[in-house]
Amino acid sequence: FNNLLKNSSQAIPEGRTGVIQVLLTQEENNYLVEIKDNGKGIDPTQYDKIFTPNFTTKSSGSGLGLAIVNIIMKNHSGKIYFESKMTVGTSFFLQFPKG
């Protein structure tokens, strides 16, 4: 969660009032956590690289955060995915199985 919240805060452009929401939804067989920001969004050309180790769009950082989150989710039989719209924001979804 720390990594996703940090990424969300860093995605907010200068001069924009940032809004980050954490939403929890209970589905039939899963719990779904959504971390949603009103940042700059993710360029669609980068979608397939987002969970790749050492990939980053920032000037600093190792590019390991989302790759590690992806591994953690898989190790817990969960799933991570995202939806993004340029200049509007991004939502990352963490899906945890019940039980």
Confidence of residue 63 (pLDDT cuts 50, 70, 90): confident
CA distance 75 to 70: 9
Are 38 and 19 in contact, with CB atoms under 8 Å apart?
Answer: yes
Position 1 scores a pLDDT of 93
Position 5 scores a pLDDT of 96
Which residues face 96 on adjacent strands? Answer: 31
Distances (CA, A) of 22 to 17, 82, 94: 17, 14, 11
Position 59 scores a pLDDT of 61
Which segments within the chain are labelled E, that is strand?
20-26, 30-37, 79-85, 89-97
Query: Mean pLDDT of all residues in the chain?
Result: 93
DSSP one-letter string for 71-96: HHHHHTT-EEEEEEETTTEEEEEEEE
